[in-house]
Structure 1
Amino acid sequence: MTNPLPPETAKWLKDSGFTVRTEAIWLEALTHGSFNSGSPQQENHARDYQRLEFLGDRVLGLAVAGWLYRASDSHEGKLSQRLNALVSGRTCARIARNIGMPDHVRLGKQAREDGGADSDNILGDVMEALIGASFLDNGFDVTRDVILQLWESDLSGDAGKAKHPKSALQEWAAHNKRAMPHYGVKSRQGPDHASRFTVEVSIHNVGKAEATATSKGEAEKLAARAFLKEFG
């Protein structure tokens, strides 16, 4: 039998803007894998948040992408750059702290003692899991409105604006759980005072892009920008 959602946690979720209809799914969203220290056959075994995190990540991305599309006429590359910053694990973790999530995450004793309640990775994942729970319990429109409320200051701020393309690409790779970008000089042509560098950037199992410029650094920047336009 699933344990009920603690009253203080139910109140916290409501105060944070969430609407709880099916308690079990919200309990799952707040449960870290370390909480299940016993056998799956034991009565107190609870499902952890990983599946809901997977779902919530996509819902968050769609909600924020929709807002960006409506709010700006920027080209695709700039939209992708802002999206990656706004839905990053670091941003999710910061918003989780802002609403007091650490007190409500269900962790195993050792994980809590090791600082799991203040881990960017855990808090970011649980934030996405709560979004997944909201989507299943209330649908997309309600969940989108909660996201836009919680992300309001970030959406109106400078997150993701004017970020260097190489930083933006690294952030994109981290958010999408990909290998870090690899840059390599494919060719160098011309005399020292007028050289032109062709640089290729690649991410394993994603793809590659290249660009040419009068300096290696500028070519890397243009290649990163081209990669984000193609795959971001």
Structure 2
Amino acid sequence: MNQWENSNRNLRAVEERIGYTFRNPSLLERALTRLACTLETGLPPEMHMDALATLGDAVINVAVVEAVVAEGVHDKGAITNRKMNLVNMSRLRALAEEIGLAEHVRWGKGEAAQRVWTSGRVLAECLEALIGAVYLDGGMEPAAEVLRRLGLIKRA
């Protein structure tokens, strides 16, 4: 079975794991598609996750700072330190691993052969893309709620 089969089932599995159902499932599909895959399969250039990962990075930072301030931290340095401790490649990668995100991403053939998700920042970027997709689909509060469910930020 190739990575394109059972696509709807894979999308539903991700939605169940993050506790969010997409109104526009194509955003989730895009968040799970690597640039290498789009190049290899001839998908339109806008169908890969890179822009969503950049957006998701910003959304995660806003959600974390908002949560830290809501906890009563008001010193700029303390906010920055808490954000740096909560949002880093290792932490985002671990969260992606906890929900089994790698098994749902559409990797390029070379990426799959090299198992690129096992090292570096790749899996963290996949989680960022997922959060970016949630943000575009539902807004800031659903994105923050997914981050709460994943344990990155505390409940308000």
Q: How big is each residue's C-alpha offset from its partner over 1:54-105, in whole Å with a ceiling of 9 and x where there is no partner?
A: 1111111111111101113362212211101211121111000001111011
Name the structure where helix makes up a greater proportion of residues: 2
Paired position in structure 2 for 1:70:
70
RCO higher in 1 or 2 (8 Å CA, sep ≥ 6)?
A: 2
Give unmatched runs, 5+ long, in structure 2. Answer: none
- Report whether the alignment pairs 1:11 with 2:6: no
Q: Distance in 2 between matches of 1:37 and 1:143?
A: 29
Paired position in structure 1 for 2:28:
26
Question: Normalising to structure 2: TM-score of the pair?
Answer: 0.85
- Report whether the alignment pairs 1:127 with 2:127: yes
Aligned length: 150
After the TM superposition, which residues 79-118 of structure 1 pair with which residues of structure 2 at under 5 Å, given as runs?
A: 79-118=79-118
Percent sequence identity over aligned pairs = 25
Give unmatched runs, 5+ long, in structure 1. Answer: 157-232
Q: How far apart are residue 120 of structure 1 and its match?
A: 3.6
Name the structure where strand makes up a greater proportion of residues: 1
Q: Distance in 1 between matches of 2:28 and 2:51?
A: 12
Distance 1:38 1:105, change over 3 A: closer
Q: Distance in 2 between matches of 1:4 and 1:26?
A: 16
Q: How far apart are residue 130 of structure 1 and its match?
A: 0.6
Q: How far apart are residue 7 of structure 1 and its match?
A: 2.4
Q: Distance in 1 between matches of 2:136 and 2:55?
A: 9
Q: Distance in 2 between matches of 1:56 and 1:104?
A: 18
Q: Distance in 2 between matches of 1:112 and 1:137?
A: 28
Tell whether the 8 Å contact from 2:31 to 2:130 is kept in structure 1 after alignment. Answer: yes
Q: How big is each residue's C-alpha offset from its partner over 1:118-148, in whole Å with a ceiling of 9 and x where there is no partner?
A: 2341110010111110011111111111111
- Report whether the alignment pairs 1:138 with 2:138: yes
State the Cα RMSD in Å. Answer: 2.3
